[in-house]
Amino acid sequence: MSQSKSQSNSASKLGRQSDMPHQQQLEVGEAVSEQVTVSDENKERLIDGFDGATTATPLKKVTKSSPYKNPYSNLYQNLSDTNSKNIIEPLPDNKNPRATLLWSDFKWLVILILLGALLGHYMNALPWGIIVALVLYYVWRLYSVQQFYGWMSKSLTLPPPELSGSMTFMANQLYESKRQEQMTHQRMMGLIKKIRSSLLALQDAVILLDKDDSLEWWNQAAETLLALRSQDQGRSILDLIDAPEFKAYYVDAVSPNDGLRMRSWRDYERFLQCEVTHFGTEKLLIIYDVTRLHHLEQMRKDFVGNVSHELRTPLTVIMGYIETFSDQPDLDPKWRRGFSLMTQQTVRMNQIINDLLLLSRLENEESIQSERVDMPKLLTRIFDDAQAYNKDYNHLIDLHLDSQQDIYGAEGYLHSALLNLVTNAIKYTPKGGEVRITWQEVKEGCLFTVSDNGIGIADEHLDRLTERFYRVDGGRSRSTGGTGLGLAIVKHVLYQHEAKLTIESVEGKGSKFHVLFPKRRIYQSVSSKSAAKLKPPVTDNNNVQDLQDKPSSNS
Which residue among 177, 200, 223 closes a domain?
200
Confidence bin at 266 (pLDDT 50/70/90): confident
User: Are residues 210 and 282 in contact, defined by beta-carbon separation less than 8 angstroms?
Assistant: yes
104 by Cβ neighbours in 10 Å (0-12 / 13-18 / 19+) ranks as middle
For residues 188 and 301, state if they share a domain.
no
Distance between CA atoms of 35 and 20, rounded to whole angstroms? 21
User: Are residues 405 and 380 in contact, defined by beta-carbon separation less than 8 angstroms?
Assistant: no
286: in domain: no
For residues 307 and 424, state if they share a domain.
no
- With a pLDDT cut of 70, the percent of the chain lying above it is 71
Task: Quick: pLDDT tens for 496-532.
Answer: 898 999 999 999 899 999 999 998 899 875 444 444 4
Task: Quick: pLDDT tens for 118-130.
Answer: 877 788 777 887 8
Task: Output the pTM of the full model.
Answer: 0.52
Task: Quick: pLDDT tens for 205-229.
Answer: 888 899 888 998 888 888 888 888 8
Confidence bin at 268 (pLDDT 50/70/90): confident
Specify the CATH number for the domain of residue 314: 1.10.287
Residue 547 pLDDT more than 60? no
Residue 311 pLDDT more than 80? yes
553: in domain: no
Residue 402 pLDDT more than 90? yes
Between 275 and 106, the more confident residue is: 275
Helix, strand and coil in the chain, % to nearest 5 = 50, 15, 35
440: in domain: yes
For residues 193 and 97, state if they share a domain.
yes
129: in domain: yes
Task: Quick: pLDDT tens for 446-480.
Answer: 999 999 999 999 888 888 888 888 877 655 555 55
- Domain of 404? 367-531
Mean pLDDT of the chain: 73
pLDDT value of residue 26: 36
Distance between CA atoms of 355 and 361, rounded to whole angstroms? 10
pLDDT value of residue 102: 64
Confidence bin at 439 (pLDDT 50/70/90): very high
Residue 275 pLDDT more than 80? yes
User: Are residues 449 and 437 in contact, defined by beta-carbon separation less than 8 angstroms?
Assistant: yes
For residues 392 and 472, state if they share a domain.
yes
**510 φψ region: left (φ > 0), alpha (ψ -120 to 50), beta (else):** left
Confidence bin at 3 (pLDDT 50/70/90): very low
Which residue among 165, 200, 235 closes a domain?
200
Task: Quick: pLDDT tens for 359-379.
Answer: 777 777 666 788 999 999 999
Those residues with Cβ within 8 angstroms of residue 494's Cβ, 6 or more apart along the chain or in another chain: 417, 500, 501, 515, 543, 544
User: Are residues 216 and 233 in contact, defined by beta-carbon separation less than 8 angstroms?
Assistant: yes
- With a pLDDT cut of 90, the percent of the chain lying above it is 17
For residues 349 and 371, state if they share a domain.
no
For residues 419 and 329, state if they share a domain.
no
Residue 243 pLDDT more than 60? yes
Distance between CA atoms of 36 and 73, rounded to whole angstroms? 9
For residues 8 and 104, state if they share a domain.
yes
Which range among 106-110, 333-337, 432-436, 501-505 shows the weakest confidence by mean pLDDT?
Answer: 106-110
Distance between CA atoms of 485 and 494, rounded to whole angstroms? 14
Our count of domains for the chain comes to 3
19: in domain: yes
314: in domain: yes
237: in domain: no
Residue 168 pLDDT more than 60? yes
For residues 319 and 400, state if they share a domain.
no
7: in domain: yes
pLDDT value of residue 401: 94
For residues 122 and 40, state if they share a domain.
yes
Task: Quick: pLDDT tens for 42-96.
Answer: 333 333 333 333 333 333 333 333 443 443 334 344 444 444 455 666 655 554 5
Which residue among 342, 360, 378 closes a domain?
360
User: For 401, which DSSP code?
Assistant: E
Task: Quick: pLDDT tens for 342-362.
Answer: 888 888 888 888 878 887 777
Distance between CA atoms of 532 and 291, rounded to whole angstroms? 29
Q: Is 78 helix (H, G, I), strand (E, B) or coil?
A: helix
Between 313 and 80, the more confident residue is: 313
Q: At what angle do helices 411-427 and 375-389 cross, to 10 degrees?
A: 40
For residues 410 and 454, state if they share a domain.
yes
For residues 38 and 182, state if they share a domain.
yes
pLDDT value of residue 98: 58
Q: Is 516 helix (H, G, I), strand (E, B) or coil?
A: strand
Distance between CA atoms of 538 and 496, rounded to whole angstroms? 10
Distance between CA atoms of 113 and 134, rounded to whole angstroms? 7
For residues 158 and 33, state if they share a domain.
yes
Specify the CATH number for the domain of residue 496: 3.30.565.10
